[in-house]
Amino acid sequence: PPPYTGVWMGDSKLCAIGVHCGNHITSHGLALNCCTDLSWFEHIVPCGLEGKGVTSLSRELGQHVAVSSVLEPFLDSFQEVFECSLVSPEEPG
């Protein structure tokens, strides 16, 4: 929920989005919780947000959701939304 970044299901974060700037380098990324062991989040304050939780696609859908089943539809949607083409690096050798 605004003003928080990421993708939320109620008061629980499903996907974290981050940007880091330092030493003249900017990096960014995201973490979409598919089948994450959420018990680790019981030991921290996720993203420094008191009173907010973390969830996963598996928890929300009530079934195991593997990263491999999410990757292709996610990348397809990313290309559509950002009007770009993603290129995979060539395999070594």
Given the residues 34, 35, 47, 84, the one annotated as active site: 47
Q: Is residue 17 a contact partner of residue 34, using CB atoms and an 8 Å limit? A: no
Q: Is there a catalytic annotation at residue 47?
A: yes
Phi first, then psi, for residue 71 (nearest 5°) are -60, -55
Catalytic positions are: 47
